[in-house]
């Protein structure tokens, strides 16, 4: 992830979608969060009786995009200078954003997303209490309910610009009993920083969460990443009530947690 956006996401236990189970050859009725059994006569009725999070996660990525992702948000005109621009030779750049889940994202794209995390955030992970594990990170990236907005620069006449230059990954889930859209990663290549892309991706996240009907948006950021925290605060994020607090050790030393959970209520909008 880009050091100007977010240095990391500490994985938390999430609730997986409710699924029908078979017991001795018969289908077992799924249950809602309060333990009551869901009754249904067909798949469509079953789908609409599910809670919002589970119902949303049953959608294919194409249906999810059509319902909840604003089409106008899948193009972005960069502003300002990227690191590969020269002062006095400023050129507007256009970016295109594609939507994926782990079953549809090409392996090449997923590998490039991982390399962005490794390039921009592995050092921060290594310096933290969580450590850096490429295997665990790749496994997390393939969680079934994960969704991706993948950014490419529009190619010129020579066919350049097809590499992934940034992405955001998120999940529709429960966090501490709340329905939330949780941002797992936001990463930008250094070559495209300074053009507002990171802010745009976060605004897209908020708009998607609002359209789905989530109560809040959440993310985790390393405290060492001051730039990211300032961006999130400017968007309306605050320290979440469940963010870890400082601990006083036996010798009197106060140990600050190396990450911070931030959140905001999704009662406004539209954001894009």
pTM for this structure? 0.79
CA distance 213 to 206: 11
Query: Which domains, ranges and CATH numbers included, belong to the chain?
Result: 21-57 (no CATH), 61-265 (3.40.630.30)
Sole residue written with tokens 């959608």: 59
The token pair that represents 17 in the structure block: 């979608």
Nearest to 11 by CA among 167, 128, 155: 128
47-61, 107-121, 202-216: range with lowest mean pLDDT? 47-61
CB of 49 closer than 8 Å to CB of 193: no
Phi-psi category of residue 159: left, alpha or beta, with phi > 0 → left and psi -120 to 50 → alpha: left
Whether pLDDT at 15 is above 70? no
- For residue 265, the model assigns a pLDDT of 96
Instruction: Tell whether the model's pLDDT for residue 233 goes beyond 80.
Output: yes
Torsion of CA 210, 212, 213, 215, to 10 degrees: -70
The answer to whether 78 touches 192, Cβ cutoff 8 Å, is yes
Per mean pLDDT, which range of 3-7, 110-114, 212-216, 234-238 is the poorest?
3-7
Residue 47 confidence (pLDDT) above 80: no
Taking only the tens place, the pLDDT of each residue in 101-124 is 999 999 999 999 999 999 999 999
- Ranges assigned E (strand) in 129-248: 146-153, 164-175, 178-188, 216-222, 238-239, 247-248
């Amino acid at each position: 992830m880009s050091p100007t956006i977010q240095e990391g996401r500490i994985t938390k236990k999430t609730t997986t979608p409710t699924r029908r189970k078979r017991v001795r050859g018969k289908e077992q009725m799924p249950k809602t969060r309060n333990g009551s059994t869901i009754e249904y006569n067909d798949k469509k009725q079953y789908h609409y009786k599910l809670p919002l999070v589970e119902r949303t996660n049953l959608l294919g990525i194409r249906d999810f995009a059509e319902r909840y992702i604003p089409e106008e948000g899948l193009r972005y005109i960069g502003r300002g200078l990227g690191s590969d621009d020269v002062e006095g030779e400023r050129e507007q750049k256009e970016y295109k954003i594609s939507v994926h889940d782990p079953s549809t994202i090409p392996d090449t794209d997923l590998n490039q997303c991982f390399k962005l995390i490794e390039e921009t955030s592995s050092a921060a992970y290594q310096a933290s209490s969580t450590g850096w594990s490429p295997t665990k990170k790749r496994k997390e990236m393939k969680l079934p309910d994960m969704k991706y907005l993948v950014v490419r620069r529009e190619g010129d006449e020579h066919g350049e610009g097809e590499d992934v230059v940034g992405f955001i990954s998120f999940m529709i889930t429960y966090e501490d009993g709340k329905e939330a859209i949780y941002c797992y990663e936001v990463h930008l290549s250094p070559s495209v920083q300074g053009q507002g892309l990171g802010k745009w991706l976060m605004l897209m996240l908020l708009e998607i969460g609002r359209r789905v009907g989530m109560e809040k948006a959440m993310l985790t950021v390393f405290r060492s990443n001051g730039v990211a925290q300032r961006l999130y605060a400017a968007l309306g994020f605050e320290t979440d009530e469940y963010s870890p607090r400082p601990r006083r050790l036996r010798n009197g030393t106060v140990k600050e947690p190396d990450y911070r959970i931030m959140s905001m209520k999704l009662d406004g909008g539209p954001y894009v």
